[in-house]
Amino acid sequence: MNLENVYLNVIKERFNGIKRLGDDTIDQLTEDDIHWTLNEASNSIAVLAKHISGNMISRSTNFLTTDGEKPNRKRDSEFEEDSLTKHEMIAVWEKGWSILFETLEELEGEHLLRDVYIRGKRTIVLEALERQLTHYASHIGQIVYIGRQLKNNTWVNLSIPKRQSEEYFE
């Protein structure tokens, strides 16, 4: 296996891993939880899920042939709180992930150094993928943090629980 294919497999695993963190958090939340915000400057989990999905759809649709910021994307509306049910939010979330994963499956090693554009700025595929991974991971970290705070003592840990590292390694 060559380095390019190893990288593509690793990046797919990383995207799957961060999706799993988001999925496992969302599974623990109620309808009210997904719309909770600390204050007016904060985003709810529902808003974050809409934004992540909107970004994925824009960036991943025709990834190699069109600018990643599509003219039909309404980015500002992604940050508006609305009355999405949890089921509707999950459908929006899954749509974005589906398009991203379809695009990743179409990529081949020789594409990694190819030029693509995001907001008119030239970059290479490898850098665009890393940019997306970082962006989504940061927002999913927010989702996990909010979920953990809301669930408090009923939170089901997504990794090794505090003060249980030794048990994990036994």
SS (H, E, C) 96-110: HHHHHHHHHHHCCHH
| Rounded average pLDDT over 44-58 | 97
Using DSSP's 3-state secondary structure scheme, residue 82 falls into coil
pLDDT digits over 59-118, tens only? Answer: 999 999 999 999 999 998 898 889 899 999 999 999 999 999 999 999 999 999 999 999
How distant, in Å, are the alpha carbons of 34, 46, 48, 143, 167 from that of 77?
17, 12, 12, 19, 46
Integer-rounded Cα radius of gyration of the chain: 17
**Tokens 């700025």 sit on residue:** 121
Q: Give the lowest-confidence range in 5-19, 74-88, 152-166.
A: 152-166
Distance, CA of 80 to CA of 86 (rounded, Å): 16
Confidence at residue 147, expressed as pLDDT on a 0 to 100 scale:
98
**What is the spatial distance between Cα 78 and Cα 48, in angstroms, rounded to a whole number?**
8
Distance CA 11, CA 88 (A): 28
0.85 cut: is pTM over it?
yes
Is the Cβ–Cβ distance between 21 and 140 less than 8 Å? yes
Q: In the structure encoding, which two tokens stand for residue 165, read together? A: 């590292």
d(CA 34, CA 60): 25
| Per-residue pLDDT at 3 | 94
Residues 6+ apart with CB under 8 A from 29: 45, 86, 147, 150, 151
The whole-number pLDDT of residue 170 equals: 66
pLDDT higher than threshold 90 for residue 165? no
